[in-house]
Amino acid sequence: MSTHDFKLYIDGAFVEAGATFESTDPASGEAWARMPAADAADVDRAVRAAHRALNDSAWAELTATQRGKLLTRLGDLIATNAAELAALETRDTGKIIRETSAQIGYVAEYYRYFGGLADKLEGAHLPVDKADMEAYVRREPIGVVAAVVPWNSQLMLAAVKLGPALAAGCTVVLKASEDGPAPLLAMARLVHEAGFPPGVVNIITGFGEECGRTLTAHPLVARVAFTGGPSTARHVVRNTAENLAYTTLELGGKSPVLVFEDADLDSTANAVIAGIFAASGQSCVAGSRLLVQRSVRDRMLAILAEKARLIRIGNPQDRATEMGPLATGRQLAHIEATVAASIAAGARLVTGGRRPESHPTGNYYEPTILLCAGNEVPCAAEELFGPVLSVIAFDDEEEAVALANDTAFGLASGVFTASLTRAHRMIRRLHAGIVWVNTYRAVSPIVPFGGYGQSGLGREAGAESIRDYTRTKSVWIRTSDEPIADPFVMR
């Protein structure tokens, strides 16, 4: 039986939705909470509240510095309540408590960063070619923002949207994923406590047409910031044909990690393990393709296999656990089917490849390593969003680059080598929005995040991201005291 009830947060109030659904604990398979499912009327109410708040003096007349202080206060509240939010995220998504605790504690830094950035957004004076004119550009909030985030790393992915949007003076309707929305719905209380005026931030969740399409196609939405999969993103793009909303998309990846023979293999193995098996592989930047120089392939495989077998699988609420369950049963079924198809296509199973005997219930799957002949094997071609590492050997730099770039995705990549010159060559040639050298999965609010190709459009985080939540207004001022000449009198 579900014991927790969550509500929508619309126009500064916690309200019931048109319908509800049960959320399931991925570790036990049992329903634990009742979630609100926003229908089209709920979404319309949230968007209209955001639109009213956009022009209401309680928000519109705040100085940028005052907006920044509200963001900083929200960050402080998230830090104070990080343990509670982490426990909710772990319960609702299966992500281990060690990771949710560390990540949510760091999320506060995103709000502090954008809080400090709010009054650094500047316009420009333009040196126009007219002697009796002054011209300048103002940056003003773009309007109502529809922010759509998935269940994984949801507080951070919300922060890189809410932070710059609110710093710029926009108002937001934040849609949490129907898979594991608890921590974002709970965060609404902190938004309320921080003192944001009613309607500035609205937090909802719901399904498909009723919620997602209504939100992204709404005529009062001026900008859509979406994180999710490419197939859903295509629906979002089609939806925005209705309102011509400015859209940024942070999508999936099939990120390559290149390991050269001069790399420190033990150190590299730790980074590879963290890059694919942290969060049970449910990360858009997961290093799911390991490209390793043939001369060290077998040594690398042996090290990785040993480390993978030692990973402690267990209850995600237990701090001793190193890998928890997948978030949904359908994801588990998809991974099982793809691994089976990959082995049938010639991939060699090195370790894993099944549900652990120690956890017959829940959405658990062993850390899995497959040796593949190339990128054509299903597990090497598709984003699995799970703990599956595809290993492919290469002989030289040319082959490594060709294999790395042989994908529709281009979000992240890793390079492990002792050669600084080789690292710089790889940085130039890899088609990815992020290149980590001798490290993996490092993030910061200061550093932009985004990809190439099917990995999306636009960038999140960093100082430039706030500009994507503004539009420019050009201002002309005539400085001459002379009367304007009659345009119909010829001289």
Positions annotated as catalytic residues are 250
- Residues 218 and 215: their CA atoms lie apart, in Å, by 5
CA distance 44 to 42: 5
In 94-150, alpha helices (H): 97-117
Contact 325, 293 (CB under 8 A): no
Q: Which of 50, 233, 69 is nearest to 142 (CA)?
A: 50
Whole-number Å distance between alpha carbons of 419 and 390: 25
Distance CA 208, CA 307 (A): 40
- 332 DSSP 8-state letter: H
Residue with tokens 């890059």: 275
> What residue type is 226 in one-letter code?
F
According to DSSP, the residues that pair with 146 across neighbouring strands are 173, 224
DSSP, residue by residue, 183-232? HHHHHHHHHHHHTPPTTSEEEEE--HIIIIIHHHT-TTEEEEEEES-HHH
The C-alpha atoms of residue 251 and residue 62 are separated, in whole angstroms, by 34
Instruction: Count Cα atoms within 13 angstroms, Cβ side, for 203.
Output: 29
Helix 297-310 and helix 265-277: axis angle, to 10°?
50
For the record, the structure tokens of 27 come out as 């570790």
Write the single-letter amino acid at 70: L
SS3 489: coil
